[in-house]
Amino acid sequence: VHMNIPVQLTVNGESHQLDLDPRASVLDTLRDRLNVMSVKKGCDHGQCGACTVLIDGKRVLSCLSLSASYDGSEVVTAEGLGTPEHLHPMQQAFLEHDGFQCGYCTPGQICSAVGMLDELAQGMPSHVTPDVRQEPQFNDAEIRERMSGNLCRCGAYVNIVSAIREVGQTAQTQAV
């Protein structure tokens, strides 16, 4: 027997006071309790990235994250990044570069890419560029490495990478 616990989550700007099973994942909470359907359950085991959301600005796999450990946190999904009238630059770039086919992986790809650019801007290392502060670069190898947690069954990788490259390069130019 276990008891539900109170958890407060802000999802795409809206605050929710929830009563949750302590074992509930953020993924199940979003889909089953809050009807946020862009977040996909691909594998439910941390292996596909389809469930990626931003929590307090960082990309996380929502299938591996317990809602209870994010009490008081801010969750953003693809719905919260932009609307059809006001697309987020990353959403716009995925459209322009044909960065999707069936679209199943796309919300996760986009949330992951937004979080990834932030990590890059903050100088977080990767295997390709161990220290981006010393050697800043934004190339396809870097993008592929940093996006390797997001799988695409349709194999749209070339277009996904070019969409992300465009947004990343624009951001980099604006920062200079």
* Contact set with ligand FES (CB under 6 A): 41-44, 46-51, 61, 63, 100-106, 152-154, 156
Least distance CB 45 / ligand FES (angstroms): 6
Task: Kindly tell me which of 59 and 88 has the beta carbon lying closer to ligand FES.
Answer: 59
Among 44, 32, 42, CA closest to 109: 42
Residues 79, 56: Cα–Cα separation, whole Å: 16
**Is the CB of residue 20 less than 8 Å from the CB of residue 30?**
no
Task: Kindly tell me which of 14 and 98 has the beta carbon lying closer to ligand FES.
Answer: 98
Task: Kindly tell me which of 68 and 132 has the beta carbon lying closer to ligand FES.
Answer: 68
Alpha-carbon dihedral sign for residues 16, 20, 24, 29: negative
Least distance CB 30 / ligand FES (angstroms): 12
Least distance CB 89 / ligand FES (angstroms): 19
Residues 134, 85: Cα–Cα separation, whole Å: 39
Task: Kindly tell me which of 75 and 105 has the beta carbon lying closer to ligand FES.
Answer: 105
Least distance CB 12 / ligand FES (angstroms): 19
Least distance CB 25 / ligand FES (angstroms): 9
* CA 96 to chain CA mean position, Å: 19
Task: Kindly tell me which of 41 and 165 has the beta carbon lying closer to ligand FES.
Answer: 41
Among 4, 7, 59, 1, CA closest to 34: 7
